[in-house]
Structure 1
Amino acid sequence: MSRSKSVLTKLLQIFPQLQPQMYFKASLTALSHAMEDQVLAGTEKPLVIASFQRERFYRQEAQRYRRIANKTDQVYVLAAPETEFKNSSQDYETIAFESTNTLSQEWHLIVIGTNYVSCLICQEKVILNNQGITSVIDNNRRFEGIWTFNREVAQQAADILLKIIVNHCPELRSKIQQARQKYLPPDILNQIVVRQKTTNNIIHNIENKNPDPFVQRLVTYLQAGHYKLIKANRSLAAKEHKERLINSITTAIRLSLNPDEILQIAVQKLGQGLGICRCLVYRCKETDFKATVEHEFLNQDIPSIKEQTWFLHDNPLFQEVIKLQEALTIDNAANDPRITNSCKEKEKSLQTLVRNCSILSWMLAPILYQGQLLGMLELHHCGPKPISWKEEDVTFINAITTQIGVALIQAEAYAHLQDLNEQLEALDYTRSNLVAITGHELRTPLSTIQVCLESLTLEPDMSPDLRQVMLNIALQDAERMRKLIQDFLILSRFESGRFEWNTEVLNLHECLELSLSNIKARYRGKQIPLIEVTNFLNSELPLVKADREWLGEVLAKLLDNACKFTSKEGRITIIVIRNSLHYLKVTIADTGRGIEPKRLETVFERFYQEEGALRRSIGGTGLGLAICRQIVQGWGGKIWAESKGKEYGSQFHFTVPIHLS
């Protein structure tokens, strides 16, 4: 259906003398039930046309209309579908219209029988709030409309609705034509139109030749109660608006877990909802000397004070709010004694603040959570006349600040929870890798040692050469286990902070010579890549200041890694340069398998294994680079890796502090 004039508008064009009245939704529901009960209590088979705004309202009445359908086969129900409502011809005719149709803002019920008629044609009064949206659906919604027993009015209203039904459901044309012939004879409709053009016949809004006494009393009661409800509704309107504003602000801020976003949403919605000149909020604690205004809402041409420094320690109003632990109001800042009656320096600064910010009426409300100050919310009215803050205003703002406080704590708790989750993920990752490493690096050598020792024990006639081979294998795997356990203990000591440094002045040449000797001894009998040293014999390189043992450990582990991942035909280069006034940079570069750029930071994590803990072809715990990072950072240096990718080799750099004599 396309959007067009409402049924009420069309009816008033035909009968301009009709005077619409105001109804609440509760009144319409009672009137509709009275009209439906008249059908259910009678013996006639009338025409019944009901138009509900939405399917939810229809569902409340569906059972009644099934009973009405047992009385007559001419029942038509219209509604905007929300879940299951659709065009159907079961117990009675249901007609679904789009939610954008004008019928979605209307409420109609027409009953036309042989001996009685009743007609209720209403249109909702759309009330816009400050945000330009309609009020929430409830029994206090207002409608403007016609309720009459006049047959001519009812027949014209039925004619309008039946045309709408035919346009939407052409398959009902035959059934609707039967209804027209029985309840809306063409000559009657024509007579009505002619009479409207030729006479000034006045049709009263409520006219019934044979009114039902109960219905007549109900009309009188509802009309009298209607005006009482209007009067009561006026007094509740402000409270209702504030409650809705609280709900909207609460809903909006609870959707975010970002503290800055929470405060900006709160100040924006509150400023718009109250129509205040300036609304601002800032984070602060009781002991803060100053705060920065980070979130602000401005109305009209009020000057902005965002990003300004707000002095708190010298603000007696701030101190009073802290003491009261609730909102503080100033109706007229121009003559408030807390601002004007003192010549102290801090009161003078407060007067300057009021003048510069054009504050005429002022409210300061603390954002608290369990007595802890999280921030401050301020409302500034800048004129032209001061306003008087009411008790309900203070209660409302206190409710808002309570919700903001809860949202801020929730956001901070979530951020803390995220940190904890990341730590737990790291621990879980460590645990998983520890299990894998333990399986490969402890169980395997233990099994080998056990097999060798059992062979030596069970085979007394074993040849001396074979016995020596068995002993060598057992010793090698024992050494492998010793190094693994040593790495675990070293990393644990570093990460727990239970480590003492023996810093001394060192010659880097000596440390590197020792590390090279250790590497050659470790790989004795095996071919390793060619190792070259650049800038090492440069006499201009100064002495360094570090722990001899752990500097040698870093060099040894980096050289060992380079040997592991570089083929015997490759090359390892050691470069030493002075890259700053305070540090030497040591680079160990190789032509080995290289590292993917995205993993250059990951390689320094604990238990990192490029191939995975269960599929690696190169032995090791994955702790070597993590230990190197702890050692280098311990003396204030940096360590990092560079590589162009797979098969392009890699370069590991670290810095050592220079001894400044």
Structure 2
Amino acid sequence: MSTSNSLLQDLRQAVPHLKTQIYFKSSLTALSHAIEDLVLAGSDKPLVIANFQQERFYRQEIPRYQKIAQHTDQVYVLAAPETDFGVASDPCITIPFAPDDELAQEWHLVVVGQQYSACLVCQEYASPLDSASLDQARQFKGIWTFDPQVSLQAARLLLERILTYRPELAAKVKQAQQRYGMFPEFQPQVSTSWLLDIDPRLFVNRLVTYLQASQYRLLKAYGTIGSKERKERLLNAIATAIRRSLNPEEILTVTVTELGKVFSNCRCLLYRYQSGSQSQPIAYESTSPGLRSLKEEIWSLVSHPLFQTAWAQSQTNSKNQSESIAIADVTQDLGLQSHPDLKAQLVRWQIHACLLVPIRYQGSWLGMLELHKPEAHLWTKDDVALVEAIATQVGVALMQAQAYTNLETLNRQLTDLERIQSNLIAIVGHELRTPLSTIRVCLESLVSEPEMPLDLQQKMLQTALSDAERLRKLIQDFITLSRLEGGSMRWQLEPISLQEYLDLALSGLESQTSPRIVIELPHHLPLIQVDGEGLIEVLTKLLDNACKFTPKSGQVKISAQLLNALGNSHKTSMLKVTIADTGRGIEPNRLEAIFERFYQEEGFLQRTVGGTGLGLAICRRIIDKLGGKIWAESLGKDQGSQFHFTVPVAAY
């Protein structure tokens, strides 16, 4: 059962001179409470009919209507049921109506008494999209009056609606109609001066209270908006600085400057932080007039054991708990006061309240934001949230700047790698093409010249074999380096004699083109714990290099020295082997670069000796795997060079 007509529409048809107005819900609430106060403050027993639209709106007013029901037995409450709102008669008479009834869109409060009457009839006009959060912004169109004739007409129409839903109330409704003069034969005996009996202070106090509460909420809203505006402006300023520049210096300077503007009479400083590193002078600070500057001073509260303990505890807490430390009054903090050195620092630098917020990125500490105030100050949640938001922005900015720096470094490395790759292709192509060309020429000569003298044939064959061996060594170097870098080499560590493997390496040298080789090894040299094949590879390549870059009139000297070093719990020994030559030498600034892959001291087209630059790179990787070190020394060009490497001595 439902009624399609609007009560406001029916009332305006019955009383054509009525003019509607627009009301906000908050205004209707104030008016309704003022009218209800008339009932509660008076001695009359009026008819009270209220329509709350929905049951949930009535639930908020149940205590008030229980009090009203103690003043009169004619109280009717209408609402669309949502849960257990149903037919009831104690203390108020409840009338649930169909949800599709027009009453669900209207707000009514009608009071008809012997001394006064009041009528509030409105229909919802507009509501915000998010009515749950903006309920007070709902708008209604309707009338509000003390006119007794309008109030009686509204009461008649509402009582008819009540009988539609609860016909069993006919006797009670008839009683109300007779008592309050709704039949022609029962006209109300009310003085025309009834308005004078209404105390206007009830309405004035109610509306003044409403206006004061509204003003307070408005001021609070303005304050919140202003705080959010400051936060957004600061975040935008820092974000703009980040977009404009990836220079960490500029980003950090803008951060302390803008943050100092938000917090008055405050010192704001920012410093980079690395655990275990020595504190650096403060470089980024913003200070209000009257506060001493900490710039260029060595300062780091976070390095104090008290704060280190606090942050260590915060690490074990839940991820949602803030790691910031806010102290409203350092003189009331017993922890701070128990450290005389820290207490003296705080007094010296006029720190009465402080806020410490770490700058983090993905769990890593990057720095610290500190705010100091010379007077006690209660840091609000908004204050802490703002500084934490800034710290997050700064952390991202620092990582972006670092990533940009790393990218520039990577670009330079890629450029160098591209150049090395070009040289590599040229070197490898040259090293492969030269012996292949020689072999081909030799073999073609042997085929095309069958009458060639025997000694020339032997020379051609020997040349082809030499260059074939050169190709084999070149390919073997590539395979060895690939296996070393890929970790596929198998090592057989065993005690061996250096002298024995040195003799094997020397036997492979071409004595007719080598300089004089001198061996100076101590007597009773201990065995070394190495891989035999790896040691042969290192000795062969170092000796080959020494002979290659030393003229035939020069000298290559091989020596060894026992080194003793104290380990963690026992004595360990290393054997240092040195291969020194009197050749062309190495520039001091290239002593490390020569161990890089494909390094060539000369341009590949201007070289006086062959090679791909893989030999020393292979030597370093082998010695590293054997647990030793390898390095070179030289006084410069034409001053000769010395190559040293160490290997562990076998235990005995």
Give the whole-Å Cα distance in 2 for the aligned partners of 1:291 and 1:276. 31
Give the structure 2 partner of residue 646 of structure 1.
Answer: 637
Give the structure 2 partner of residue 631 of structure 1.
Answer: 622
Q: How does 1:213-232 map to 2 (within 5 A)?
A: none
Residue 454, structure 1, aligned to residue 438, structure 2: no
Give the structure 1 partner of residue 549 of structure 2.
Answer: 565
Give the whole-Å Cα distance in 1 for the aligned partners of 2:325 and 2:589. 56
CA shift, 1:480, in A, is 0.7
- CA displacement 1:388-414 (0-9 Å, x = unmatched): 6484x4565355224302212203323
Q: How does 1:196-215 map to 2 (within 5 A)?
A: none
Give the whole-Å Cα distance in 2 for the aligned partners of 1:353 and 1:261. 36
Contact residue 359 and residue 369 of structure 2 kept, 8 A: no
The partner residue of 2:516 within 517, 522, 530 is: 530
Give the structure 1 partner of residue 601 of structure 2.
Answer: 610
The partner residue of 1:550 within 521, 534, 537 is: 534
> What secondary structure does 1:569 align onto?
coil
CA shift, 1:376, in A, is 7.0
The partner residue of 1:492 within 451, 459, 482 is: 482
Contact residue 321 and residue 366 of structure 1 kept, 8 A: no
Give the structure 1 partner of residue 592 of structure 2.
Answer: 601
- CA displacement 1:143-192 (0-9 Å, x = unmatched): xxxxxxxxxxxxxxxxxxxxxxxxxxxxxxxxxxxxxxxxxxxxxxxxxx
Give the structure 2 partner of residue 440 of structure 1.
Answer: 430
Residue 308, structure 1, aligned to residue 283, structure 2: no
Give the whole-Å Cα distance in 1 for the aligned partners of 2:247 and 2:493. 45
- CA displacement 1:7-36 (0-9 Å, x = unmatched): xxxxxxxxxxxxxxxxxxxxxxxxxxxxxx
Residues 483, 388 of structure 1: alpha-carbon distance in 2 compared, 3 angstrom cutoff: closer
Give the whole-Å Cα distance in 1 for the aligned partners of 2:260 and 2:317. 24
Contact residue 609 and residue 622 of structure 1 kept, 8 A: yes
Residue 405, structure 1, aligned to residue 401, structure 2: no
Residues 601, 331 of structure 1: alpha-carbon distance in 2 compared, 3 angstrom cutoff: closer
Query: How many residues were matched structurally?
Result: 407
- The residue identity in structure 1 corresponding to 2:493 is T
Residues 568, 328 of structure 1: alpha-carbon distance in 2 compared, 3 angstrom cutoff: closer
- CA displacement 1:541-596 (0-9 Å, x = unmatched): 32222111221221211111111111111111112222444222222111222222
Residues 612, 396 of structure 1: alpha-carbon distance in 2 compared, 3 angstrom cutoff: same
Contact residue 321 and residue 328 of structure 1 kept, 8 A: no
Residues 540, 660 of structure 1: alpha-carbon distance in 2 compared, 3 angstrom cutoff: same
> What secondary structure does 1:323 align onto?
coil
Give the whole-Å Cα distance in 1 for the aligned partners of 2:600 and 2:478. 16
Q: TM-score, normalised by structure 1?
A: 0.52
Residues 634, 384 of structure 1: alpha-carbon distance in 2 compared, 3 angstrom cutoff: same
Contact residue 574 and residue 589 of structure 1 kept, 8 A: yes
Q: How does 1:502-513 map to 2 (within 5 A)?
A: 502-513=492-503
Give the structure 2 partner of residue 386 of structure 1.
Answer: 377
Contact residue 430 and residue 606 of structure 1 kept, 8 A: no
Give the whole-Å Cα distance in 1 for the aligned partners of 2:252 and 2:318. 20
Contact residue 366 and residue 373 of structure 1 kept, 8 A: no
Give the whole-Å Cα distance in 2 for the aligned partners of 1:312 and 1:374. 16
Give the whole-Å Cα distance in 2 for the aligned partners of 1:266 and 1:400. 8
Give the structure 2 partner of residue 590 of structure 1.
Answer: 581
> What secondary structure does 1:311 align onto?
helix
CA shift, 1:446, in A, is 1.5
> What secondary structure does 2:646 align onto?
strand
- The residue identity in structure 2 corresponding to 1:588 is I
CA shift, 1:490, in A, is 1.0
CA shift, 1:458, in A, is 3.8
Residues 462, 317 of structure 1: alpha-carbon distance in 2 compared, 3 angstrom cutoff: closer
Give the structure 1 partner of residue 108 of structure 2.
Answer: none
- The residue identity in structure 1 corresponding to 2:553 is E
Residues 421, 658 of structure 1: alpha-carbon distance in 2 compared, 3 angstrom cutoff: farther
Give the whole-Å Cα distance in 1 for the aligned partners of 2:359 and 2:580. 58
Residues 385, 517 of structure 1: alpha-carbon distance in 2 compared, 3 angstrom cutoff: closer
Give the structure 2 partner of residue 620 of structure 1.
Answer: 611
Give the structure 1 partner of residue 12 of structure 2.
Answer: none
Residues 368, 273 of structure 1: alpha-carbon distance in 2 compared, 3 angstrom cutoff: same
Give the whole-Å Cα distance in 1 for the aligned partners of 2:643 and 2:431. 25
Residues 312, 322 of structure 1: alpha-carbon distance in 2 compared, 3 angstrom cutoff: farther
Give the whole-Å Cα distance in 2 for the aligned partners of 1:265 and 1:254. 12
- The residue identity in structure 1 corresponding to 2:304 is Q
Residues 627, 390 of structure 1: alpha-carbon distance in 2 compared, 3 angstrom cutoff: closer
The partner residue of 2:508 within 512, 518, 522 is: 518
Give the whole-Å Cα distance in 1 for the aligned partners of 2:603 and 2:442. 29
CA shift, 1:442, in A, is 0.5
CA shift, 1:439, in A, is 1.6
Residues 508, 269 of structure 1: alpha-carbon distance in 2 compared, 3 angstrom cutoff: farther
Cα root mean square deviation, aligned? 4.4
Give the structure 2 partner of residue 143 of structure 1.
Answer: none
CA shift, 1:363, in A, is 4.2
CA shift, 1:616, in A, is 0.8
> What secondary structure does 2:579 align onto?
strand
Give the whole-Å Cα distance in 1 for the aligned partners of 2:260 and 2:648. 57
CA shift, 1:331, in A, is 5.6
Contact residue 361 and residue 386 of structure 1 kept, 8 A: yes
Q: How does 1:79-158 map to 2 (within 5 A)?
A: none
Give the whole-Å Cα distance in 1 for the aligned partners of 2:552 and 2:313. 78
Residues 275, 651 of structure 1: alpha-carbon distance in 2 compared, 3 angstrom cutoff: farther
Q: How does 1:294-305 map to 2 (within 5 A)?
A: 297=285, 300=291, 305=300
- The residue identity in structure 1 corresponding to 2:518 is E
Contact residue 270 and residue 285 of structure 2 kept, 8 A: no
- CA displacement 1:80-105 (0-9 Å, x = unmatched): xxxxxxxxxxxxxxxxxxxxxxxxxx
Give the structure 2 partner of residue 577 of structure 1.
Answer: 561
- The residue identity in structure 2 corresponding to 1:643 is S
> What secondary structure does 2:642 align onto?
strand
The partner residue of 1:417 within 392, 407, 411 is: 407
Larger radius of gyration: 2
- The residue identity in structure 1 corresponding to 2:589 is K
- CA displacement 1:195-251 (0-9 Å, x = unmatched): xxxxxxxxxxxxxxxxxxxxxxxxxxxxxxxxxxxxxxx999999887776566556
Q: How does 1:157-168 map to 2 (within 5 A)?
A: none
Contact residue 365 and residue 401 of structure 1 kept, 8 A: yes
- The residue identity in structure 2 corresponding to 1:617 is T
Give the whole-Å Cα distance in 2 for the aligned partners of 1:441 and 1:611. 14
Give the whole-Å Cα distance in 2 for the aligned partners of 1:563 and 1:437. 21
- The residue identity in structure 2 corresponding to 1:507 is S
Residue 475, structure 1, aligned to residue 459, structure 2: no
> What secondary structure does 1:385 align onto?
coil
- The residue identity in structure 1 corresponding to 2:548 is K
Give the whole-Å Cα distance in 2 for the aligned partners of 1:364 and 1:613. 60
> What secondary structure does 1:645 align onto?
coil
CA shift, 1:518, in A, is 1.5
